[in-house]
Amino acid sequence: MHSIRPRLINENGLRVDGRRPDELRPIKMEVGVLEKSDGSAYVEFGGTKVFAAVFGPREAHPKHLALPDRAILNCRYHMTSFSVEERKPLGMTRREIELSKVIREALETVAFLEEFPRASIDVYIEVIQADGGTRTAGLTAASLALADASIPMADLIAAVAVGKVDGQLVLDLCDLEDKYGEADMPVAMAPRFNSVVLLQLNGKFSPSEFKKGLTLAQKGIAEIYRLQQETLKKKFSASRPMEV
């Protein structure tokens, strides 16, 4: 049987969308984009488009779930039905339940939940369009939305996937690279502490590819972190009252 696997790196060493192996997709970020929530963010990595909204801290509901010493962090990662080509089930799939959990665990490492006993903080991530790297874009957006909601945190979380396509390590995979590549490794970090808060691997890396991949992810994360800080500064300096 013939394989219809597309070629992912061309003779000039460029990727399907024209990027170099170590290049991120064009990134857009904005905070305070929604009015009904306490904090919100919109993040775009090329064709991947994600909203995040945060409510809280507010009284935990139902009350019996409240914790006496800290806030509960609820997190829901969801892909809209129109974000992918295939017919996606309306409810939460197993994949979305798993991603909600790993995203929550990553956010819990930085949020000062003990400052809000008996409260809940609810994080909603909606993928509007999926083109690879939705969990990493979702996490990047969620930490911006938490900051926008003034939830105290030890650091922001910045995330990106690295992978292997046509035997070559690449940064920030698009959907085609994710589907037809040999490996995909999403990485999220609290960059201030140089601490990895999420790392998954789908496929195979040799130990040296793993090391190089992690270094490549760190490079992308440093750039994403810089953009996050810039985005927050822009919002908060615009909303600060004028000095007289």
Q: Which residues bind ligand CDP (CB under 6 A)?
A: 84, 86, 88, 130-136, 161, 175, 178, 184, 186
Q: Supply the minimum distance, in Å, between the C-beta of residue 163 and ligand CDP.
A: 9
CA separation (Å) from 99 to 32, 124, 136, 186, 236? 24, 12, 10, 12, 30
Name which of 100 and 136 has its Cβ closer to ligand CDP: 136
Name the minimum Å distance from CB 130 to ligand CDP: 4
Taking Cα atoms as reference points, which of 165, 168, 160, 211 lies closest to residue 187? 160
Tell which phi-psi region holds residue 92, choosing left (phi > 0), alpha (psi between -120 and 50) or beta: beta
Q: Give the nearest distance from C-beta 79 to ligand CDP in angstroms.
A: 6
The verdict on whether omega for the bond into residue 57 sits within 30 degrees of 0, i.e. cis, is: yes
Q: Which three-class secondary structure state does DSSP give residue 216?
A: helix
CB of 226 to ligand CDP, least distance (A): 22
Nearer to ligand CDP, 66 or 176 (CB): 176
